[in-house]
Amino acid sequence: EAGVVQSPRYKIIEKKQPVAFWCNPISGHNTLYWYRQNLGQGPELLIRYENEEAVDDSQLPKDRFSAERLKGVDSTLKIQPAELGDSAVYLCASSLEGSDTEAFFGQGTRLTVV
């Protein structure tokens, strides 16, 4: 069974440019998470979806970050415009319906803003 798939694996962009990350969760998983992992730190939750609804986006910097999960399956996370401090690994995770089930993580997208 395929795990959580993220693309691209690596992305280098200049500051002020837009960037988008894509996540395909495990089939049948209704709950989807986006985390950001800064260098030398643990991951931090950005947003959680239950199906297509964002139920917790309190940690998402809404001035430049946006996310969507159309049809409650795949999700995209966008940054516009990117800043140097956005350089990090962006991890997607998914779980069965509800937050009381184990989350499985993708390999992440490593973003470098220059």
Partner 1 sequence: AQSVTQLDSQVPVFEEAPVELRCNYSSSVSVYLFWYVQYPNQGLQLLLKYLSGSTLVKGINGFEAEFNKSQTSFHLRKPSVHISDTAEYFCAVSEGGSQGNLIFGKGTKLSVKP
The residues that touch partner 1, with contacts defined as CB under 8 A, are 4, 31, 33, 40-45, 48, 56, 91, 93, 95, 99-108, 110
CB-wise, 44 or 68, nearer to partner 1? 44
Which residues sit opposite 105 in a β-bridge?
Answer: 93
In the complex, the smallest distance separating the C-beta of residue 75 from partner 1, rounded to whole angstroms, is: 14
In the complex, the smallest distance separating the C-beta of residue 72 from partner 1, rounded to whole angstroms, is: 16
CB-wise, 65 or 90, nearer to partner 1? 90
Quick one: CA torsion of 10, 83, 41, 56, rounded to 10 degrees?
-90
| Backbone φ/ψ region at 64: left (φ over 0), alpha (ψ -120 to 50), beta | alpha
Q: Characterize the bridge pairing of strands 88-95 and 109-113.
A: antiparallel
In the complex, the smallest distance separating the C-beta of residue 3 from partner 1, rounded to whole angstroms, is: 8
